[in-house]
Amino acid sequence: MAQVLEAPQTHSEGAGHDAGHGSHASHPPTSTGINHRKILMWMFLASDCMFFGALIATYMIYRGRSEAMGAGPFPSELIDIPYTSVSAFVLLMSSLTMVLALAGLQRGDLRASRLWIFATAALGTIFLGGQYFEFTEFYHEGLGLTTNMFGTTFFTLTGFHGLHVTIGVIWLLTLLFVSLRGGLKKEDSLDLEIAGLYWHFVDIVWIVIFTLVYLIPYEEMAAEGEPHAVRLLGLSQAMVNRLF
């Protein structure tokens, strides 16, 4: 009689154990109490922060040397701050829609989550379209990747950022497709949260790029020479360290 009672109990515990390990929603925390996938994303973002820091530092050092070499066009002749400000505003608004998408999924409102995921991807696409138009206009004005140091560092820095935005848009559209097929539910909110961490990082990097590349007057650097560029390099590194 005792054996008959014990057998179902053992089977029940085993089934519960297997279900716990097979569930998509169960993600064992690490010793820090944070999910291991989220830690890996933070580690990637930390390395990407150093990557962009190097690109920004290189741009700030070499931007003012084009005029000294006599090879134009120069930043002051091309950069359109009002136009780029609109693009920056569009990308920053996508951070808000990303937050709304995650909030919708966490409360189980799949319709709202899908709507805001699509809105985030759409705003990112609009930003990429604006960047493509800017690159095309610069090229028509005679600035190419090998024209001068300004062109080389500018296209490299903003181009890599655009690549990151493109990856983010593809990621979001993939999550939207998965959600429409029923594969992204409330218990899977961590998947969207990790994508949100990446997207917010891309937005923050653009704030730094927009400030240092577009808002700092080029004439000041050209007039004061390399020492001023070195001070701006220190300023850019301090801004990156403070943000991250």
Q: How far apart are CA 155 and CA 231, in angstroms?
A: 22
Whole-number pLDDT of residue 222: 43
> Is 117 within a domain?
yes
Determine the average pLDDT of the residues in 36-49.
Answer: 91
- State how far the alpha carbon of 81 is from the alpha carbons of 110, 173, 234, in Å: 38, 30, 23
Range of 76's domain? 36-243
DSSP 186: G
Q: pTM to 2 decimals? A: 0.75
Q: Take residue 13 and report the two structure tokens written for it.
A: 């515990």
Q: Classify residue 206: in a domain, yes or no.
A: yes
pLDDT digit string (tens) for 110-141? 999 999 999 999 999 999 999 999 999 988 98
Q: Is residue 66 part of a domain?
A: yes
Q: What is the mean pLDDT of the chain?
A: 79
The whole-number pLDDT of residue 29 equals 56
For residue 192, tell me if it sits in a domain. Answer: yes
Structural domains counted in the chain: 1
Calculate mean pLDDT across residues 217-237: 50
Q: Is residue 125 part of a domain?
A: yes
Does any domain span residue 7? no
Residue 75, token pair as written in the block: 């930043």
Domain presence at residue 156: yes
Of 8-22, 101-115, 207-221, the one with minimum mean pLDDT is: 8-22
**CATH number of domain containing 62:** 1.20.120.80
- Going 163 to 169 to 173 to 175, the CA torsion angle's sign is positive
